A and B are shown apart, each in its own frame.
Chain A
Amino acid sequence: MRQRVRFSKIGKVRFLSHRDVARVWERALRRSGVRVAYSEGFSPRPKLSFGLALSTGYESLGEYLDIDLADDLDPASLPPFVSPSLPQGIEAQVAIAIAPGTASLQQAVTSSSWRLEVIDVDRSRLAAEVDRALASAVLPLIVERKGSESPLDARPAILAMEVDGSVLHAELATHPRSLRPAELVRALDPSWTLGRVLRTHQWTTVDGARGEPIPLGDRHAHGATSASHAGARAS
């Protein structure tokens, strides 16, 4: 059976790469005794698939992976089962069973909400630049993709922005063109330095309705809500 797991990546472990996190999960599942299905063929690999990569150094309250389990398991028991085998900072929060044919995380997720610290910038300047960007029709930016530079209009990917002191909350699209937090800050002002970055949510749109791949229940909600709704709107 296939299960989708929501997990966090907070603290020192944020310096793990996407590949590191995948390896950590593989080993944690083996340690916890949760049996994962393996691929066929010459060198069998455990069948895990991860959602959108989180850049090395960024934290997150909402990461996802899909696991093909070899045995049936109550989704509610997976997080408590595997969490003790995960390093401090990576916590399995909730799991659900997903039907075969469910859209992959890469396809389903259309945007992410971010909490960005902008370092050494006057608060009123930050608010002013954000207002200006939101009021603009286009926000030109040169981005680097696959080693080459290309021009991009950052504006369509900015779905929402609000400022809380020196913290910027932003919802950025992943489809059709994605915008990275560092690129957003560069588009606002190339001289600014991006500090800590936290992904608070990933969003899907199913039949026009916005939602999360797995919403956190009340039990888990405190971390996510406090981070995402902390600020007053700047515009």
Chain B
Amino acid sequence: MSVVGGASGTLARTMVDVWARLEPHLASVQKPARYIGCELGAEVPPPSPERVGWLLVYPDTYEIGLPNQGLQILYEILNERPDALAERSYAPWTDLEEVLRREGIPLFSVDTHRSADEFDVIAFNLSAELVYTNVLNCIDLAGVPVQSADRGPGHPLIGAGGHATYNPEPLADFLDFVVLGDGEEVVGEINAAIAAWKAAGSADRVEVLRTLAGIDGVYVPCLYEARYLPDGRLEVTAPVDPAASAVVDKRTVADLADWPYPKQQLVPLTEVVHDRLNVEVFRGCTRGCRFCQAGMITRPVRERPAEQVALMVQQGLRRTGYDEVALTSLSTADFSGIEDVVTAAMDDSVGCGNVSVSLPSLRVDAFTVGVAAQIQKARRTGLTFAPEAGTWRMRQVINKLITEEDLYAAVDSAFSQGWRRVKLYFLTGLPTETDEDTLGIIELARRCVELAKAEGHNGTVTVSVGGFVPKAFTPFQWFGMNTEVELRRKVNLLRDAARHAKGVQIKWHDPRASLVEGLVSRGDRRLGPVIEHVWRAGGTFQEWSEHFRLDLWEEAMAAAGLDLDWYCHRHRTEDEVLPWDHLSAGLHKDFLWQDWRDALEELGLEDCRWTPCYDCGACTGYGIEHVVASAVPPAGGSQGTGQGLRRGGEVPVTLLARKPAGVGA
């Protein structure tokens, strides 16, 4: 066993290949292929003292985590640097965890099966709140103290990025640093800072954390203190160290064309979700759906040049051998020139024949169905739309401005062109929702079934209902969410109504899981001990219904002297300090508050991408603008047909400069 010298201490340990100890046990666990790595595109440089070692962890199973594009992008960018190396790890399923703990085998990378504690940084992708107990479990399996304060000079730095980090406070006790926003640029800056710290031979963690806190977009929780008012509300989260800035701003990549990643998308050898080539066509969304955190925090809209999309599709299909490509974004039908891009991707000479294209987020209108028809020449089985609410009133409240005419035109078009199943996504428990709004869901679905009958076949409509959970940096962040009892009552209303609506099937999300998601998504630092309690009691994989344990969360809240009801169901007031007020997604708080008031007044807003500006702050604050290739909204208007919406002050957008297309090296 060779000893590799290193300054920080982490590389100074002996390199232990976990594989030899792991391998004899793999035959006895479920789906062992998820622990072997070996994916096409998985290439990592050998460890050396000059390289900062990153273990990028997706805290859920391999099947869920492998396709994550954010993690793959950072993996490639880091491995292209001469001063970094990155490997990947995923949460071991409970059967393997039992083996690891029994045999004393640490968490490992799937790339080289090195022990997690040999890396300088363990960085988590946080896509959702219910994985937080898995984060603690992975830190513990790495042999690292779960509490940031208990870590010493030889321990890896524990970081996190991803959408859920916009309220990282519940994890403040456990994370050394948190990254807000797009990671492409900032990951290099973080790496350089850690490399310099390692090279200087320093073992002082606070020193490197202070340096990291000086990088835009990096938040170091231990340099801040949260103080509370006597009534339990937050007074302030303020810096306690001169290195920490009063407000940490998110990072935004101005031009997606500069970052044509992943260039070498990983192709797994075993089955995973979204097992296809994924090409991101734009980032950000300005439709302004008020429930949607992703749309709010990723502004402004930045389109990838169509030529680059075509090239990434072409080269990606050839390299991977995939027969399916997804054009990803928050609303792909809004991509300027979507039809041309789809036509190019479908060209059989591009890939190896028989390529199918999928658009994961379809806008609801007949134009979109036309694009879908062009794509799915065969296999027209199911089509999915997300009207989100059952009545026009409710859709104005949430600013999902789909008229019934748009929905029926889309569904009619789908049924007339050969689709047999339509799936409709809805939320319930929305602000101001009445039973009429809730039942409107079934009414919409019932009329969609009638449209199928009119086309002369037995189409089915599946209604999928989720309980609404308010998220940070959305206009609904002040809203007290519906109780579990109320959500259950609404689900039951829908189930009863669906029973009398032939052809309508209904699926729903567990309201108990929504409750815990609501607790954590708007929670503060006092939830740290709660998350730790649930983890210590064995509550991992909480997003998996067979492992979800509401009783553990209730028990943990009681043990911490905290009230679920206070956190989840209480409406916040305008003057209340929110746990994420010292962080910024670029959105002015007064814009969000105004949008909240507009919501309560049932006032819909146009999409600002194509003309009006409501001064949300996302563009002006960063000196960047929407980057779109088309100056005109899609057919039918910016939000749909014939709505006569009010217009805000107008700020012209920048049209995408035509630069030479390329995907780099």
Query: Which A residues fall within an 8 A CB radius of B?
Result: 12-13, 15-17, 19-20, 23-24, 26-31, 33, 35, 38, 42-44, 56-57, 85, 87-89, 195
Query: Across the interface, do B38 and A88 meet the contact criterion of CB distance under 8 Å?
Result: yes
Q: Please, which residue of chain B has its CB at the minimum distance from the CB of A30?
A: B321
In the complex, what distance in Å separates the CA atom of A13 from the CA atom of B354? 28
Interface of B is mostly: loop
Contact of B270 with A16 in the complex, beta carbons under 8 Å: yes
* CB-based nearest A residue for B35: A15
List residues of chain A with CB within 8 A of the CB of B271: 19-20, 23
Chain B residues numbered 334-363 whose CB sits less than 8 Å from any CB in chain A: 351-354
* 19 A-B pairs with C-beta separation under 8 A: A12-B37, A12-B38, A13-B38, A15-B26, A15-B32, A15-B35, A16-B33, A16-B270, A20-B269, A20-B271, A26-B321, A27-B320, A29-B321, A31-B319, A31-B320, A35-B353, A43-B378, A44-B378, A87-B38
Of residues 221 through 275 on chain B, the ones whose CB sits less than 8 Å from some CB of chain A are 267, 269-271
In the complex, the chain A residue whose C-beta lies closest to that of B318 is A31
B352 x A57 contact (CB < 8 A):
no
Beyond the given pairs A20-B269, A23-B269, A26-B321, 10 more chain A to chain B contacts, judged by CB atoms under 8 angstroms and listed by A's residue number, are A12-B19, A12-B37, A15-B32, A15-B36, A16-B33, A24-B269, A28-B321, A30-B323, A31-B352, A44-B354
Interface centre among A15, A42, A56 (most CB of B within 10 A): A15
A57 lies within 8 A of B378 (CB) = no
Is A13 within 8 A of B321, CB to CB?
no
| Chain A residues within 8 Å of B269, by CB | 13, 16, 20, 23-24, 87
Across the interface, do A87 and B40 meet the contact criterion of CB distance under 8 Å? yes
A-chain residues with CB within 8 Å of residue B37 when the two chains form the complex: 12
Q: Give chain A residues whose Cβ lies under 8 Å from the Cβ of B33.
A: 15-17, 20, 56
**B12-55 vs A, Cβ < 8 Å mask (1 yes, 0 no):** 00000001000010110000110111101000000000000000
Q: Is the CB of A13 within 8 A of B36?
A: yes
Q: Which residue of A lies closest to B113 (CB)?
A: A12
| In the complex, chain B residues whose CB is within 8 Å of the CB of A44 | 354, 378
Are B352 and A33 closer than 8 Å at their CB atoms?
yes
CA A22 to CA B527, docked complex, whole Å: 47
Q: Tell whether B322 is near chain A: CB-to-CB under 8 Å.
A: yes
CB-CB under 8 A from A56, the residues of chain B are 27, 32-33
- In the complex, per-residue mask of B615-639: 1 if CB is within 8 Å of any chain A CB, else 0: 0000000000000000000000000
Min CB distance B645 to A, Å, is 42
Instruction: Specify which chain B residues have a CB less than 8 angstroms from the CB of A57 in the assembled complex.
Output: 26-27, 32
Question: A24 CA to B33 CA in the complex, in Å?
Answer: 13
Q: Would you give the shortest CB distance from A37 to chain B, in whole angstroms?
A: 11
Which residue of B has the minimal Cβ distance to A26?
Answer: B321
**B270 and A20 form a contact (CB under 8 A):** yes
Nearest B residue to A29 via CB reads: B321
Report yes or no: B36 in contact with A27, Cβ–Cβ below 8 A: no
**5 tightest Cβ-Cβ pairs between the two chains A and B:** A27-B321, A31-B321, A30-B321, A15-B32, A57-B27
- Name the CB-closest residue of A to B28: A57
Give every chain A residue within 8 A of B24 (Cβ-Cβ): 195
CA gap between A33 and B32 in the complex, in Å: 30
Which of B26, B267, B321, B354 has the most A CB atoms < 10 Å from its CB?
B321
The reply to whether B321 and A42 contact each other, CB–CB distance below 8 Å, is no
- For residue A40, give the distance in angstroms from its CB to the closest CB of chain B: 11
Q: CA of A13 to CA of B35 in the docked complex: distance in angstroms?
A: 11
The answer to whether B267 touches A27, judged by C-beta atoms less than 8 angstroms apart, is yes
A30 to B378, CA, bound (A): 20
Residues of B within 8 A of A85 (CB): 321
Expressed in whole angstroms, the Cα–Cα distance for A7 and B62 within the complex equals 27
Enumerate chain B residues within 8 angstroms of A23, measured Cβ to Cβ: 269, 271
